[in-house]
Structure 1
Amino acid sequence: MNEITVDIWTDVVCPWCYIGKRRFERALGAFDAKERVRVRWRSFELDPAALRLTDETIPERMLRRQGIPPHEAERLLAGVTAQAEAEGLVYHLDRARPCNTFDAHRLVHHAASVGLAEPFQERLMRAYTAEGASVGDHATLLALAEEAGLDAGPAAGVLAGGAYAQDVRADEERAARLGVGGVPAFVVEGRPPLAGALPAAVLTSLLEDAR
C-alpha cells in the first residue's frame, strides 16, 4: 500500500503549533490506515530576525511591540492556554521566551535523519510552552536533544557548523511557493495547504480524502 505523506509546517515558538500537533495526533488515531501515514516536519520561522538568546517573555514582547498592557496580555494568553488544556497540554506562556529558531529547525532536520524528528519536535514544543526554556540556546537544545534520544556528539556537531541550513531554507522557500503564511500548516499528499490548529475531525477528513 502506498504511503500518505503529510507535511506539517511549524515553528518551535508557536503555541498554536503544539495544539495543532495534538489535534493531528488525535486525527491520526481515528484514521484506520495510520500505518501508511508518513509525517514530515517542515521549518517555518515566525520571526527570522529574532535574537537567538533573549530573556524577554511573550508578555514583555507584546508590551514592547504592540503596546499591549500586562493585564490584556494575560487575558489573551489565557485563551490560548485554555485551548491547549483541552488537548491535554500544560502551558505557562508568561514564561515563554520567543527567540530565533533557525538552529532548532536545523536540529529537527538532523533528528529526522535518524528517525527521531517527532520526539524531538515534541520535546522542543513542551520546553518552550511549558518550561520557559530558551530554545535558541545551544546548551539547552543539546540537553533537549539528548532527552529525545539523540546522540550528543553528532547533535553538537550540527549546532557548531552549518549542517541542514539548506534544508531549513528549502522548507521556507517551499512554504512561500505554496502560499503558507502562517503555522501550523498542513499539506496532505501535495494538496493545497490548510493553515491553523485545525479540529481533529477536519484533519481526519483530509487523511480520508487522501486515501
Structure 2
Amino acid sequence: MRVEVWSDVGCPWCYLGKRRLDKAIGRFEHGDEVEVVWRSFQLAPHYPRGAAKPLYEALMEQTGGSLSDVRSMVGRVVAPAAAEGLKYDFDSAFMCNTFDAHRVAQFAGQRGLGGRAHERLLRALLVEGDVLDDTETLVRLATEIGLPAEETRRVLAGDDYAEAVREDAREARRLGAEGVPFFVFDRALGVSGAESVDVFVSVLRQARERSISGLSSQ
C-alpha cells in the first residue's frame, strides 16, 4: 500500500499529521506493507526567498492582526501537538520561503530518506527555530539525515528538483487538495487535515480492503 503525503516543511498541522500517521501505521495490522511517499507543497510559495522574519511579526504583517490575534491563531495547534509529543516553539520560529528545503527533501527522497528529511526539516523550523532558506543550515540538516554535504550544496546552488517540487503542487491540486496536510491512500482514498490516529487506522484498513477486493475481482 502506498500513502502519499503532501506537506509543507514549515506547517505545524503537517508535523502533527505526520506524527499521527506514523502512530497509525504502527497500530495498523499490516503496517509493514505501507510505503509512505512525501510530496512537496508550499503554503506560501510567493514569500520572498532570503527574507525570513520572526513568525509572529510575519503573520501580523500578512493578516493585519495584533500580536494577540496571531498568537491565538497559531496557538490552536499547540495543545494537540503537545498531546502527540511535539513541543512547538513559535516564539523562536521564523517564516521563510521553503522552496529550497523542499528541493533538499526531494533529493533525500531519491535516496530513500524522504521521511527522515521531512521529520528533520519540520523539527528544525517548528521546534528549534532554524531558518530553512539558508543554504548552510539546509546542508547541515541534510548531513544529519545521511545526505552528502557537497552533493547537497551542489543541489542548492543549481535548480535540481525544482520542477519536481512544482509538479507535486500541481498534482495535489489535480487531486482536489486545497491545503495541507493532504494524504492519499493508493490513489483511491483521501484525507485532508491532521486527523486523529483512529481515523488514519480506519482509512488504512479501508484502503487495504479495497486493494484486496480489487485483486479478487480481476
State whether TM-score is above 0.5.
yes
Deviation, structure 1 residue 192: 4.4
Alpha-carbon distance between aligned partners in 1 of 2:21 and 2:112, rounded to the nearest angstrom: 19
Separation (CA, whole Å) in 2 of partners of 1:82 and 1:195:
20
Deviation at residue 112 of structure 1 after TM alignment: 0.9
Measured against aligned partners, the alpha-carbon deviations of 1:10-37 in whole angstroms (never above 9, x if no partner) come to 0011110000000001110111111111
Contact 1:12 1:125 in 2 (8 A): yes
Match of 1:157 in 2: 154
Which of these residues, 53, 66, 90, is aligned with residue 93 of structure 1?
90
Q: Find the partner of 1:122 among 119, 136, 141.
A: 119
- Name the SS of the counterpart of 2:94 in structure 1: coil
Q: Equivalents in 2 of 1:143, 1:193: separation in Å?
A: 34
The equivalent position to 1:176 in structure 2, one of 173, 188, 211, is: 173
Aligned to 1:52: 49
Q: Is the 8 A contact 1:52 1:137 kept in 2?
A: no
What is the TM-score of this pair, normalised by structure 1? 0.94
| 1:59-105 deviations in Å (ceiling 9; x for gaps) | 11221121221123223333211111011011011221111111111
Unaligned 5+ runs, structure 2: 209-218
Give the TM-score, by structure 2 length.
0.91
Question: Alignment RMSD, CA only?
Answer: 1.2
> Structure 2: how far apart are the matches of 1:51 and 1:143?
22
Task: Give, as a single letter, the amino acid of the residue that structure 2 aligns with 1:126.
Answer: R
| Residue aligning to 2:11 | 14
Match status 1:191 vs 2:188: yes
Matched, 1:133 2:122: no
Distance in 2 separating the partners of 1:62 and 1:161: 30
Aligned partners of 1:47 and 1:71: how far apart in 2?
A: 22
Q: Which residue of 2 aligns with 1:73?
A: 70
Of 180-189 and 165-174, the range deviating more from structure 2: 165-174
2:22 counterpart (21, 25, 29): 25
Matching of residue 142 in structure 1 with residue 107 in structure 2: no
Partner Cα distance (2:82, 2:55) in 1: 19
Q: Is the 8 A contact 1:180 1:193 kept in 2?
A: no
Runs of 4+ in 1 over 3 A off after TM superposition: none
Structure with bigger gyration radius: 2
Give the whole-Å Cα distance in 1 for the aligned partners of 2:171 and 2:74.
Answer: 30
Q: Does structure 2 conserve the Cα–Cα contact (< 8 Å) formed by 1:128 and 1:135?
A: yes
Between the two proteins, the alignment pairs up a number of residues equal to 208
- Matched residue SS, 1:121: helix
